[in-house]
């Protein structure tokens, strides 16, 4: 049971970032911060890393969209 749960925790963030390789920086940074926070919050480093990856991915996606809107064309 433990192996299948770990596989889901690892596979879910990986499946979310397949569409856009440019956001891997956000996932890596988020996973590092989330993993450390999860470790200190009750030894949930994998869950924290997965959540941090998703949060970092969404943050950089939003940041890229805002930067694209503010660029003046012309």
pTM for the model? 0.60
> Given a cut of 70, is residue 55 above it in pLDDT?
yes
Write the DSSP string, 18-63.
SS-GGGHHHHHHHHHHHHHHHHHTTS-HHHHHHHHHHHHHHHHHHH
Residue 47: its pLDDT value, please?
A: 92
**In sequence order, what are the residues at sequence separation of 6 or more whose Cβ sits closer than 8 angstroms to the Cβ of residue 10?**
46, 50
> Given a cut of 80, is residue 41 above it in pLDDT?
yes
Pick 68 or 9 by higher pLDDT: 68
Domain segments of the chain as ranges: 2-70
Under a CB-based contact definition with an 8 Å cutoff, are residues 54 and 24 in contact? no
């Amino acid at each position: 049971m433990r192996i299948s749960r770990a596989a889901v925790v690892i596979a879910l963030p990986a499946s979310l970032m397949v569409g856009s390789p440019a956001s891997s920086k956000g996932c890596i940074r988020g996973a590092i911060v989330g993993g450390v926070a999860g470790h200190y919050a009750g030894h949930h480093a994998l869950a924290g890393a997965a959540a941090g990856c998703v949060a970092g991915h969404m943050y950089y996606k939003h940041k890229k969209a805002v930067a694209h809107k503010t660029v003046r064309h012309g």
